[in-house]
Amino acid sequence: CFFSLLPTCIWFMDSSFVLRPPGHSRICPSIKSLLNVKWLKRPGPTTDEVVKCGVPSILLKVLGFSIWGSSQISYYGSITIGTPPQTFQVLFDTGSANLWVDSVYCNTQACNAHTKFNSTKSSTYSSTTKTFYISYGTGSLYGIFGYDSVNVSGIVIKKQIFGLSTNEPGQTFLQAQFDGILGLSYPSIAAGQATPVMDNMMQQGLLQDNLFAFYLSRNGQQGSEVAFGGVDSTKYNSQIYWSPVTSQTYWQIEIKGYGLFCGCQAIVDTGTSFLTCPQQYMGYLMQAIGAQADQFGGYYVNCNANNLPTLSFNINGVNFPLPPSAYILVVSSNWHTQAIQPLWILGDVFLKEYYSVYDRANNQVGFAQAV
């Protein structure tokens, strides 16, 4: 996941340097055919856990805040760990694989600003001596692994391995509204070869179907949710279109057709706020939407422009349009884009427009028009 929240009139970010393995992108000829297709619809309404349509769901809290004059949104929800249960707000992140929370073993400023797990107060906790280090797109931490019961919306995972932070340097997690991260990607990228929560859910037979799904609300509205074991059909209004996973690391898929996107790889990442673009395509994309380069190597557009194009992503033969209202962020300053990594990342900018389903049984990602 990528936590940087940067001031920009464009939700696109140049993605050339992030701490993820290199993808299989290739330079594709043109972006012009990307710029068509009409747009569809919007929005939604939240707090702890519920069961909707027979599917265990966690209603994600939506918190709006401002950085450098830009309005940002953070999505996170509640889980409990231990016996008796200790409650934590976590970011549900399809761009990482580990579960970790702040702990009493950490005394950095970031840890002290959040709820901490106290292992001595849980009768079901088992300690280890195994340590870990995790580095995200921005932000990193050190910790030690332990085992305990984890409750995710009434789904109780026994002997779940998780990280207890011991050091969280820098400001990234100090500014976060959550106490930890629950990673939902494949186990191949888990630090310390820890078994992810989703894998233990599957191994312990806790799910009706081995999948989970996200609905992310727009404009700071409540109503966002993550559902486990099924989908919430009240959150989308089209059929679900599927695309196979091309690498069982992140939820990585291929973006096909439409010139620039032919054969390019993308990560579907709920932990990334923006839509990121590989560096080699950035100039072409910015030119196509009429963005101007600045002296710092970034780009900006006139946010009052009425003629910005709708972008279209072709995923497994289906066009998924993204209107200017989704990819433009109005800020008080004129910049910018940021270097991240050599893959497209379909972050929250895209996922607020489309209900997303992550199918581990069939290793595929599904998208449907969000309500």
Question: Do 313 and 224 lie in a common domain?
Answer: no
Domain with 127, as residue range(s), is: 49-228
Among candidate residues 228, 248, 273, the one where a domain is terminated: 228
Our count of domains for the chain comes to 2
In a domain, 3, yes or no: no
Q: Is residue 7 part of a domain?
A: no
Residues 269 and 188 in one domain: no
Residue at which a domain ends, from 199, 228, 257 = 228
Which pLDDT belongs to residue 213? 97
One of 93, 102, 148, 348 is an active-site residue; which one?
93
Task: Mark whether 200 and 261 lie in a shared domain.
Answer: no
Per-residue model confidence (pLDDT) at position 73: 61
Give the domain CATH number at 210: 2.40.70.10
Residue 280 lies in a domain: yes
Spatial distance between the Cα atoms of 53 and 60, rounded to a whole number of angstroms: 17
Say yes or no: 211 and 85 in one domain: yes
What six digits make up the tokens of 125?
């906790």
Q: Running along the chain, 371 residues long, what does each successive block of 10 average in pLDDT? A: 34 35 28 25 31 63 44 77 97 96 97 98 98 91 98 96 96 90 97 98 97 89 90 96 98 75 82 81 78 75 73 90 78 45 84 97 98 94
Among 102, 148, 199, 269, which one carries the catalytic annotation?
A: 269
The domain boundary, picked from 207, 228, 249, lies at: 228
User: Do 114 and 158 reside in the same domain of the chain?
Assistant: yes
Q: What is the pLDDT of residue 54?
A: 55
Clarify whether residues 215 and 242 are in a common domain: no
- Do residues 179 and 306 share a domain? no
248 and 352 part of one domain: yes
Shared domain for 110 and 189, answered yes or no, is yes
CB 6 within 8 A of CB 13: yes
Q: Residue 256: how many CB atoms within 10 A of its CB?
A: 16
Q: What is the predicted pLDDT for the residue at 329?
A: 65
Same domain, 27 and 81: no
Residue 93 known to be catalytic: yes
Name the pTM for this structure.
0.81
Strands 354-359 and 364-369: antiparallel
CA distance 256 to 261: 6
Element (H or E) spanning 198, and its range? helix 197-203
